[in-house]
Amino acid sequence: MSDLEERTFIAIKPDGVQRGLIGEVIKRFEQKGFKLVGMKMLQASQELLHNHYADLSTKGFFPSLIAYMSSGPVVAMVWEGKGVVKTGRVMLGATNPADSAPGTIRGDYCIHVGKNVIHGSDSVESAEQEISLWFQPSELVSYKSCAFNWLYE
């Protein structure tokens, strides 16, 4: 996989969906120059969320995190492009919105760590793992077979 094909898993959490931020999040990633290669709206199962947040299962806030993520539909997406994992995290802002810079998604749209609007993979390895957890390979598109050349390729 070339560095242009790096992928990250981004999810708009239930509060982001309820507050009408789906378009805003997509707009930011799209206009930055990243490619959307997969997207679906779903009510995440308990099993999926326990797998997704397995590394946080010993934390005191884990039950409330699972309840929060189960409180409504989420929009799961895979975005592709050079440096998309790291840049995606920068675009999200710090985990706690109190520390998220203005101009970031969390910095602009939330105030509480327990309702922080959006998820983004924190490393290339966790991105691969999360993408395979949330998506079947057949649900992701490749632009390689397109008749046009992507802007950055």
DSSP bridge partners of 38: 78
By the 10 Å C-beta count (0-12 exposed, 13-18 middle, 19+ buried), 55 is classed as exposed
Is 119 catalytic? The answer is yes
Residues that bind Mg ion (CB under 5 A): 122
Q: In this complex, which beta carbon is closest to Mg ion, that of residue 24 or of residue 122?
A: 122
Q: In this complex, which beta carbon is closest to ligand IDP, that of residue 45 or of residue 142?
A: 45
Nearest-angstrom CA–CA distance, 107 and 74: 20
- DSSP reduced 3-state for 31: helix
Please identify which residue in 5, 24, 108, 122 interacts with ligand IDP, judged by CB under 6 A. Answer: 122
Taking residues 71 to 100 in sequence order and writing x for each that binds ligand IDP by CB under 6 A, - otherwise, the string is ------------------------x-----
Contact assessment for residue 89 and residue 120, using Cβ atoms and an 8 Å cutoff: yes
Residues contributing to the site for ligand IDP (CB under 6 A)? 56, 61, 65, 95, 113-114, 116, 119, 122
